[in-house]
Amino acid sequence: MITVPYERLSGYPREQRERGRLVATDRLICNWEDRHELANEILGLTWPLRQAPQSYRADFPFCMARRVAIEPMGELVRDTDGHGRNTYERAILTVEYETPSGGAVQRIAPDEQTIIEEELYPSAQVLMAPAHGLYWDDARTIPFTDAEAPLLTLRQLDWQVTVYGMPVVPAVAIDYMNCVNDSAVVSPTLGVVFEAETVLFHGARPSRIWTTGGAQPWKVVFPFTIKPSGWNRFYRRGAAVPAVVYDAAGEPWTPYEPVDFRQLGFWPVE
């Protein structure tokens, strides 16, 4: 998400189509003091909320910003930043977008670094149905403890987000364990939307290494499980669809606390 005000230079963007690829160049104008903030937002390098680079077009979601060049524009103003460097009124940012080369083969160029990696894979939960109020065709009830009680196979998704290069691990990466999302979230690179209270967070797995150059940034694994019916809905006797349960005060019972998942550090905060 771009928050820094900017204008587009006349004659841009410019596009070049190759086999299955799109290469584009855009030139943007912003205030000189905002140039690095704008470049970081385009490249997804905002901290501590790192995200995927900006996509060029919705129909080419993998045509992403790869590099940004900055040049001055307007009148020269000397030494106003306190470090003896020239400053200017405005800045021109030249943004280069590219889709990956190599077709379906995933490659990482030597000068590129992985920022976010995502995995989605199906899973299931087997649940004994709350059979009270259900009957066989001979009018015999099905006790909950009966070995004949039906089993339900509930479809789920396991979702894992791995974030590389985090400078700090947010405290909520541990505190939010066993919590669910209080609003809809979108996976950072896959673009899949998960509705409120359908995503259960299992707690982060941070790791880091030390080299001769000192401590390196963190690698953090964020594991989730998605239940399409919602984690704060439960099965009642004789019903095939889960429903909300209420407490004595008439309030919805939410054993899985809804929280703001944007605080985990890899979704943008508006």
Residues 31-65 have pLDDT tens digits of: 999 999 999 989 887 765 556 688 888 776 668 88
pLDDT at 140: 65
Q: In terms of DSSP bridges, do strands 180-181 and 258-259 run parallel, antiparallel, or are they unpaired?
A: parallel
Q: In terms of DSSP bridges, do strands 218-226 and 214-215 run parallel, antiparallel, or are they unpaired?
A: unpaired
Q: Which two tokens stand for residue 43?
A: 């490249």
- The mean-pLDDT minimum among 22-26, 174-178, 222-226, 236-240 falls in 236-240
Q: What does pTM read for this prediction?
A: 0.58
Q: 122 with 87, same domain?
A: no
How many residues make up the chain in this entry?
A: 270
Whether the CB-CB separation of 91 and 32 falls below 8 Å is answered with yes
1: in domain:
no
Domain boundary among 65, 98, 131: 98
Mean per-residue pLDDT of the chain: 82
Q: What is residue 141's three-state secondary structure? A: strand
- What CA–CA distance (Å, rounded) separates 62 from 69? 21
pLDDT at 241: 81
Phi then psi dihedrals of residue 52, to 5 deg: -70, 150
The answer to whether residue 106 scores a pLDDT higher than 50 is no
105: in domain:
no
Helix (H) or strand (E) holding 172: helix 172-175
Average pLDDT of the segment spanning 216-238: 88
Q: 92 with 191, same domain?
A: no
- What CA–CA distance (Å, rounded) separates 109 from 100? 10
270: in domain:
no
269: in domain:
no
Q: Which two tokens stand for residue 155?
A: 């479809």
> Domain tally for the chain?
2
Other C-beta atoms closer than 10 Å to the C-beta of 240 total: 10
Q: Which two tokens stand for residue 96?
A: 């280069």
Q: What is residue 43's three-state secondary structure? A: helix
Whether the CB-CB separation of 53 and 70 falls below 8 Å is answered with no
111: in domain:
no
Q: 24 with 153, same domain?
A: no
The answer to whether residue 214 scores a pLDDT higher than 80 is no
Q: 125 with 248, same domain?
A: yes
How does pLDDT run across 232-270, given as a tens digit for each residue? 998 776 666 888 999 888 898 999 999 999 888 776 544
The single residue listed with the structure tokens 């009680």 is 149
Average pLDDT of the segment spanning 133-161: 73
pLDDT at 57: 80
Strand partners, 76: 88
pLDDT at 103: 42
Q: 260 with 133, same domain?
A: yes
Reported confidence tier of residue 153, pLDDT bands at 50, 70, 90? confident
The answer to whether residue 21 scores a pLDDT higher than 90 is no
pLDDT at 45: 77
Whether the CB-CB separation of 15 and 57 falls below 8 Å is answered with no
239: in domain:
yes
67: in domain:
yes
- The mean-pLDDT minimum among 44-58, 99-113, 147-161, 232-246 falls in 99-113
The answer to whether residue 150 scores a pLDDT higher than 60 is yes
Q: 66 with 124, same domain?
A: no
Q: 186 with 258, same domain?
A: yes
Q: 88 with 122, same domain?
A: no
Give long-range contacts, CB 8 A cutoff, 24+ apart: 187-195: 187/118, 187/120, 187/159, 187/161, 188/51, 188/52, 188/116, 188/118, 188/161, 188/266, 188/267, 189/52, 189/116, 189/117, 189/118, 190/118, 190/120, 191/61, 192/120, 194/159, 194/226, 195/230
Average pLDDT of the segment spanning 165-181: 89
CA dist 256 → 134, 178, 194, 230, 234 (Å): 29, 6, 16, 10, 12
pLDDT at 144: 54
Domain boundary among 98, 132, 158: 98
Whether the CB-CB separation of 30 and 93 falls below 8 Å is answered with yes
Q: 83 with 122, same domain?
A: no
Reported confidence tier of residue 87, pLDDT bands at 50, 70, 90? confident
Q: 61 with 129, same domain?
A: no
Please give the residue range of the domain that contains residue 202: 116-264
Looking at 129-187, which runs of residues are DSSP E strands? 151-166, 180-181, 185-186
